[in-house]
A and B are shown apart, each in its own frame.
Chain A
Amino acid sequence: MNSLSGFRPRGAGAVLHGAALVAMGLCWTVPAFADDVIRVVSPYQTTTLDPMRSAAAGNIETYGQLYSRLLRRNSETGALEPGLAEKWEISPEGKSYTFHLRDAQFSDGSPITAADVAFSLNRIRSDKRSAYPAPLGAVESVTAADAKTVLITLKSAFAPFLGNAEIWNMGIISKADVEKRGEEAAFATVPVTSGPYEVKQWKPNEKLVLQPNPHYWRKGYPKSDATVELIEITSPETRIAMLKAGEVDVVRAVPWAQIDELKAAESVDMRLEPSTTIYMTLLNHKREPFSNLKARQAASMAIDNKAIAAAITRGYAEPANTTLPGSVDFHDKDYPGIPHEPAKAKELLAESGMAGRDVKILATADAPAQQTALLIQAQWQAIGLKPVIVNVDGAAWWDATGKGDYDAAANWWYNETPDPDLAVRWAVCGSCGSNSYNTFYANARVDALVEQGTKEADQGKRAEIYKKIQKITTEEVAQIPLYYAPNAVAYSKRLQGLKLTPSLQWTLEETSIGQ
């Protein structure tokens, strides 16, 4: 007899029964979250609270909540308004700016003085570890004339200066605190802040919890007493599930494929907000085949960016016509762009002598990058190139493009302010320190126009200059523009007044919670 056959697993059955009961007991309905927390989930991480140290996406969004700038941008109209500076004067030749500070305090109650402003801006300008000194590139000196007056002298007249003084890394920090605690300690856990919020708790790699700064200079703001949680979730599926389950209020970077579903959800306000983001394909101008102008033009003509935009973004993005983001000032909407002519592209490629060449397309793992790489590969194959997709993670992507070890790479970038100066410096200027966003494109005429664009005060003439830059760089295929994408953000309907501005700043201070 099998000894098991006589055995009745009574004890084990009871255990299973018990487990089922426990599981059922656990199935209580999730309580709606407390009304006094606004939860924002994003794939982008906060890695440092020092506004000088990083220009990476998650940090930019955080800095805006923690640090005030001299000026601020009206979240409705987009116009520049007084921030920590109540008013300012510009000298007639446009070289010196005098800012008069308002009576404002840091989160620890100490006054914000001109010395703090000079300290903060000089750090961004001259500290070796400053992640993004470019916006202050035209500045000769920043000094405190007295406790409430800041004097900024420029090397020469620089039209975009006020706009640049507003962007995210120009946040004012406390000189006394940094000197007292030391640079690392001052920003390690709870920094002294000048913006609408201060840090309540920072759990790196998980979330940043903010609470209203009681000493914030804009009286009556933040409108809501709610604490804010900036939560980092890499998986898009999880972000969407959290929103639908009512566990969070805001989801940043909603995948295109999920938009229609969220639009239909009753409790969700799915918005496509204006952005200065441009999706494009980098080409490596340093080596063949794309060091050859005709090969680049052929590659560009082979690509049907209208079809790509429609396929990848489900029609939510606009096909790009120039190398600059569609919503920056002086974007040339009338420029026809590069036409999609596969037959002519084939001819051009043959003329260039680059037909049959291998092309290494770098692609990261995210869906748009993978899809773009695949579509480009197919279209280039059709004109006689031999494209191979090389999959890498973000870190390896930056490594390879920085060294010029690639032929093509799909990616995106955005401009932090409506003025196109930083955009052209970043994307198409060979002498501005970015290697034209790792494409190594260089055209002396473009570089000269970039400089000219900042010295010109007349708006009409500036528009002409940036039109020229767009025409030259698009014709010479500095990059292949693909589409202008809006920011896809889903909000819970209980929030009012919250949005993500084109400069990637949340208007949390203007947000209130409805019933």
Chain B
Amino acid sequence: MPLLQLISRRLLQLIGVLAGISLVTFLLVHMAPGDPARLLAGERASAETIAAIRSQYGLDLPLWRQFLTYLANLASGDIGLSLRFQRPVSQLIKQFMWPTLFLTGYVLCLAIPPTVVLAILGARRPGGIADQTVRLLGIAGLTIPVFWLGIMMSRFFGVSLGWFPVSGYGTGFTGHLHHLFLPALSTAIWLVPVLTQSLRAALIEKTTADFVTAARAQGATERQIFWQTMLPNAALPTLNLLGVMVAFMIGGAVIVETVYAVPGLGTLMVNALLGRDYYVVQGLTLIFAVSTVLITLMVDLLTAFIDPRVRF
């Protein structure tokens, strides 16, 4: 199937996904107990005040009418206004998006090189000492909760040693690198074992693949075989896994962002949920859905590029 057709079919699917997600989120957030007007006005506000605020924001209308208004606004490119801050949701998302994207990129930079090294070390002699060590480290990395690791690292490297800031995003590129190092590292420590397991298994599997034997028969050196044949093929399943993880991080860097007070989308999402800021929650869910679809599309394209046999 030609590339353009693949992309256009995916984008069409995206519309369906978004429609479904917006309906489900809308119903979920509106049916959760809790009133944004109450949280906005504070505990001392009277019932009349709450009613006035609800009517100002159209929260007193029947649910289906609120949903239709939301859809109509969405169709015209308006994802709504934050109930708490009276600002466009798009503006809030723009403000909080960069730290999250930077953090995600940072995590990838910190996670991919050790993943490759560890997977190769492990796969060279499956069951050997190196492999056992890598697996043990992997289990340790996976089982340590990210929030606990985050708190411990911020206490040790941030508070006791004073090497890294324990909060915020910093200014300028080096500032971001410095501020986000601990959050990126704590996420990477959790991510590396997941990816390593996948890559290691694929590498071991590929050592006996026909095309490897064929390449060897044709006189290719071991180095050539590894870099040109085995690694690209073994990387495919891990690439898919990585795509899922990146999408997950964009939507779910909640824990690490909370521990390190990074003003990113995760923090925004948690506060919007607690404050029942309906349109922010919906806007963020849409953004997460779009990024998930786009990332999987990119991964698929990359896969097709690496392995010509994969066509859709």
Task: Tell me if B56 is interfacial: C-beta within 8 Å of chain A.
Answer: yes
Top 4 nearest A-B pairs (CB, nearest first) are A395-B34, A55-B42, A128-B52, A56-B42
A34 to B96, CA, bound (A): 25
Query: Which chain A positions have C-beta within 8 A of B216?
Result: 3
Stretch at the interface among A11-19, A302-310, A311-319: A11-19
From known contacts A188-B87, A205-B92, infer whether A238 and B165 are also in contact, taking CB-CB under 8 Å: no
Residue contact A398 to B40, C-beta cutoff 8 Å: no
**Cβ–Cβ contact A7 & B154, under 8 A:** no
Residues from chain B with Cβ under 8 Å of A204 in the complex: 82, 84-85, 87, 92
The reply on B30 being an interface residue by CB < 8 A is no
Within 8 A of A (CB), among B1-60: 32-36, 38-49, 52-53, 56
Residues A56 and B41 in contact, CB atoms below 8 Å apart:
yes
Complex interface residues of chain B between 81 and 112 (CB less than 8 A to chain A): 82, 84-87, 92, 95-96, 109-110
Given contacts A131-B41, A242-B261, 5 further A-B contacts (CB under 8 A): A4-B230, A238-B154, A399-B33, A399-B38, A434-B46
A9 at interface, CB cutoff 8 A:
yes
B287, CB-defined interface residue at 8 Å: no
In the complex, A241 has a CB within 8 A of chain B: yes
Which of B67-75, B118-126, B300-308 sits within the interface? B118-126
Q: Are B113 and A244 in contact (CB under 8 A)?
A: no
Known contacts being A15-B113, A396-B32, A402-B38, is A131 close to B44, with CB within 8 Å? yes
Q: Are B39 and A56 in contact (CB-based, < 8 A)? A: yes
Known: A12-B117, A130-B49, A413-B43. A26 touches B177 (CB 8 A): yes
Among residues of A, the one whose C-beta sits closest to the C-beta of B96 is A205
Q: Which residue of B49, B86, B259, B261 contacts A48 across the interface (Cβ within 8 Å)?
A: B86
Report the Cα distance A327→B31, complex, angstroms. Answer: 41
Q: Is A234 an interface residue (CB 8 A)?
A: yes
The answer to the question of B311 belonging to the interface, with a C-beta cut-off of 8 Å to chain A, is: no
- Is the beta-carbon distance between A237 and B151 smaller than 8 angstroms? yes
A129 in contact (CB, < 8 A): yes
Q: Name the residue in B32, B43, B181, B276 with the highest tally of chain A Cβ atoms < 10 Å from its Cβ.
A: B43
B150-188 vs A, CB cutoff 8 Å, 1 = contact: the mask equals 010011001100111111100000000110010001000
Q: CB within 8 A of B222: which of A3, A23, A237?
A: A3
Question: How close is B108's CB to chain A, nearest CB, in angstroms?
Answer: 12
Residues of A within 8 A of B117 (CB): 9, 12-13, 15-16
- The B-contacting residues of A in range 420-439, CB under 8 angstroms, are 426, 433-434
Partner of B181, one of A4, A16, A26, A188: A26
Chain B residue total in the interface (Cβ 8 A): 77
- Contact present for A398 and B35 (CB under 8 Å): yes
> Which residue of the partner chain, among A7, A47, A184, A231, contacts B120 with CB atoms under 8 Å?
A7
CB of B177 to closest CB in A, whole Å: 6
Q: Write out, one digit per residue, whether chain A residues 33-65 have a CB within 8 A of any chain B CB (1) or not (0).
A: 000000000000101100001111101100000
Is A91's beta carbon under 8 Å from chain B? no
List of A residues within 8 angstroms of B158 by Cβ: 241, 245
Q: Decide if B271 is an interface residue (CB 8 Å cutoff).
A: yes
A interface, by DSSP: helix, strand, loop or mixed? loop
- The reply to whether A3 and B226 form a contact with Cβ atoms under 8 Å apart is yes
Our pick among A4, A53, A132, A393 for the contact of B40 (Cβ within 8 Å) is: A53
**At the interface, yes or no: B212 with Cβ under 8 Å from chain A?**
yes
* Interface status of A180 (Cβ within 8 A of chain B): no
Determine the distance from Cα of A9 to Cα of B200 in the docked complex, in whole angstroms: 14
Chain A residues whose CB sits within 8 angstroms of the CB of B36 once the complex forms: 395
Q: Does A444 make an interface contact (CB < 8 A)? A: no
Check A12/B223 contact, CB under 8 A, given A26-B181, A398-B34. Answer: no
- Measured in the bound complex, the distance between the Cα atoms of B87 and A47 in whole Å is 11
A229 smallest CB distance to B (angstroms) = 11
B228 to chain A, nearest CB (A): 12
B110 touches A53 (CB 8 A): no
* Contact (Cβ within 8 A) A4 B34: no
Give the complex CA separation of A131 and B50 in angstroms.
8
Q: Is A515 in the interface zone, CB < 8 Å from B?
A: no
Are B124 and A235 closer than 8 Å at their CB atoms?
no
- Contacts of A179-214 to chain B: CB distance below 8 A: 184, 188, 203-206
Contact present for A16 and B39 (CB under 8 Å): no
A-B contact pairs, 28 of them (CB 8 A): A2-B124, A2-B207, A4-B207, A5-B125, A7-B120, A7-B226, A9-B121, A19-B114, A23-B185, A47-B84, A47-B85, A53-B41, A129-B56, A131-B44, A133-B49, A134-B44, A204-B85, A204-B87, A205-B271, A234-B258, A234-B270, A245-B154, A245-B159, A247-B166, A392-B33, A393-B34, A394-B274, A395-B35
